[in-house]
């Protein structure tokens, strides 16, 4: 096994952030979104990406003796154009997807299949720790009960990273695997030029750690970068134009001599193009549980803050140096997920009440509401989908507009709208 050297992390303190009001100075009419499809209850859909006129769904199908990942292409009418099973010959799950510049889809997940590409000795960014062993029981990825997207339990038998390449027409072009040596769950993937970055959560002997793996598009992986060792998770990865990375997640433990500020802090980790951690930003809420779950290339981040009295969906726009520019908070039962268009920022969350500045929106139960914001965080659109109680993913394309995947009483469904 190759050992990872201890990485120095520079703490970056949060400066004061403008907290904008729920809504805007002008009133906006809520516009109902249009349902595209309700999905089969047998498929455990956990993610979605959108490109052009197509919606690509990823997830897992559970059979009698095994589980297999899948990716499925759906058009704007809800018709399935193709579906590809992601089966390495054992048990697999598919949990994250991204496009490369040629339009190929890269799907990441975990499997029982192993090889000897690498089996990392986990080293915390501040303190070395023994190599992990698989947990004897499924690990709870969300011990604080925060509303996180439909997660499959972290199974101790799924100890290998799997990476699948699929053409836009639905042909499986390549499959790559790498043994992780411990239970692993992929949460995010980014593809840039000839490289791929994958983040997730890995089981350690003392709890959970966040993990970043980078490699090329031929399935050759470098040394993993590990953040934390007891209670840290990485949930999303953003690739900046200079090739550096921004990792999002949550942690309740001390990392690089930075102790927690709340019950659990949302964390933002900056990684250089050479794969070195250069800074760490922790959320500053002293009496809440915080997660960053979603982020765009413009550094528009979405997450959740849970305190004693209420839960809020939170979005913050950060500058290029990870200085927060403005923040919005909304009463919710869970997190906010984010997306961008060339001119707007979008967030979707489970709204539980009226929103100042949004006319015609008074949900009687948790209902998905998508808001469109300008560069200063001012509201310029509101789109409701009451059939969705728990948003799973949000995407945007010029042809389809806003697309939201989510779960409700009738199952998992897909809605869309063309923003103004």
Question: What is the C-alpha separation between 402 and 328, in angstroms, rounded?
Answer: 20
Q: Tell me the pairing of strands 67-74 and 54-62.
A: antiparallel
What confidence tens digit (pLDDT) does each residue in 21-42 have? 444 457 899 999 999 999 977 7
Does residue 321 lie in a domain region?
yes
pLDDT of residue 346: 98
* CATH number assigned to the domain comprising residue 121: 2.130.10.10
**Pair type for strands 92-99 and 225-227:** unpaired
The count of domains in the chain is 1
CA distance 114 to 149: 27
**Residue 223, SS3 per DSSP:** coil
At a CB cut-off of 8 Å and minimum separation 6, what does 394 contact? 294, 337, 338, 339, 346, 347, 348, 370, 402, 403, 404, 405
Q: Return the closest-CA partner of residue 190 out of 297, 305, 83, 334.
A: 297
Cα–Cα distance, 209 to 391 (Å, whole number): 25
pLDDT value, residue 156: 87
Domain presence at residue 12 = no
Look up the pTM and report it.
0.86
Counting as low any pLDDT under 50, the low residues of the chain are 1-24, 114-152
Q: Are strands 390-397 and 401-408 parallel, antiparallel or unpaired?
A: antiparallel
Residue 1 forms part of a structural domain: no
Q: Is residue 82 part of a domain?
A: yes
**296, part of any domain:** yes
3-state secondary structure 282-343: ECCCCCCEEEEEEECCCCEEEEEEECCCCEEEEEEEECCCCCEEEEEEEEEEEEEEEEECCC
Q: Does residue 9 sit within a domain?
A: no
The pLDDT value recorded for residue 147 is 37
Q: What does the pLDDT read at residue 284?
A: 85
Instruction: Name the residue among 211, 223, 207, 193 with its Cα closest to residue 110.
Output: 211
Encode 139-166: b = buried (16+ Cβ within 10 Å), e = exposed. Answer: bebeebebbbbbebebbbebbbbbbbbb
Q: Would you say residue 145 lies in a domain?
A: yes
CA dihedral 88, 91, 97, 102 (to 10 degrees): 10
Say what the pLDDT of residue 24 is: 44
| Structural domain containing residue 410 | 19-417
Q: What pLDDT, on the 0 to 100 scale, is given for residue 171? A: 98
Strand order in the sheet with 105-111: 92-99, 105-111, 160-166, 172-179
- Is residue 154 within 8 Å of residue 185, measured between CB atoms? yes
DSSP type of residue 176: E
| pLDDT for 113 | 57
> What value, to the nearest 5°, has the Cα angle with vertex 300 and ends 47 and 50?
35
Contact status, residue 360 vs residue 367, Cβ threshold 8 Å: no
Q: What is the model's pLDDT at position 66?
A: 79
Q: Say if 398 falls within a structural domain.
A: yes
Q: What pLDDT was estimated at residue 190?
A: 97
Closest CA to 153 of 182, 183, 129: 183
């Amino acid at each position: 096994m190759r050992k990872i050297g201890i990485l120095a992390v520079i703490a970056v303190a949060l400066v004061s952030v403008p907290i904008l009001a729920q809504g805007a100075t002008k009133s906006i009419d809520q516009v109902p979104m249009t349902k595209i499809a309700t999905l089969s209850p047998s498929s455990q859909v956990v993610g979605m990406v959108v490109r052009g006129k197509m919606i690509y769904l990823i997830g897992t199908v559970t059979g009698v003796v095994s589980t297999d990942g899948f990716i499925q292409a759906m058009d704007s009418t809800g018709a399935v154009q193709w579906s590809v099973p992601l089966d390495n010959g054992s048990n697999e799950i598919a949990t994250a997807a991204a496009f490369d510049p040629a339009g190929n889809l890269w799907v990441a997940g975990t499997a029982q299949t192993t090889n000897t590409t690498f089996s990392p000795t986990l080293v915390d960014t501040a303190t070395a720790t023994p190599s992990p062993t698989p947990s004897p029981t499924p690990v709870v990825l969300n011990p604080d009960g925060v509303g996180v997207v439909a997660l499959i339990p972290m199974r101790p038998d799924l100890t290998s990273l799997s990476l699948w390449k699929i053409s836009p027409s639905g042909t499986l072009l390549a499959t790559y695997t790498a043994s992780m040596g411990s239970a692993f769950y992929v949460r995010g993937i980014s593809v840039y030029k000839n490289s791929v970055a994958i983040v997730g959560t890995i089981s350690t002997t003392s709890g959970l750690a966040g993990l970043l793996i980078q490699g090329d598009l031929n399935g050759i992986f470098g040394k993993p970068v590990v953040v934390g060792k007891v209670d840290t998770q990485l949930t999303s990865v953003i690739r900046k134009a200079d090739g550096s990375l921004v990792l999002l997640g949550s942690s309740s433990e001390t990392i690089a001599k930075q102790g927690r500020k709340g019950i659990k802090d949302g964390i933002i980790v900056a990684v250089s193009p050479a794969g070195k951690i250069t800074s760490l930003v922790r959320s500053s809420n002293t009496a809440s549980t915080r997660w960053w779950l979603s982020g765009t290339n413009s550094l528009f981040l979405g997450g959740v803050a849970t305190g004693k009295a209420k839960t809020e969906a939170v979005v913050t726009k950060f500058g290029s140096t990870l200085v927060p520019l403005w923040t919005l908070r909304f009463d919710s039962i869970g997190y906010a997920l984010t997306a961008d268009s060339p001119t707007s920022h979008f967030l979707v969350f489970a709204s539980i009440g009226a929103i100042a500045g949004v006319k015609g929106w008074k949900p009687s139960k948790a209902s998905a509401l998508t808001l469109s914001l300008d560069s200063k965080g001012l509201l310029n659109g509101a789109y409701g989908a009451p059939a969705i109680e728990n948003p799973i993913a949000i995407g945007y394309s010029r042809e389809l507009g806003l697309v939201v995947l989510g779960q409700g009483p009738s199952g998992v469904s897909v809605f869309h709208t063309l923003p103004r």
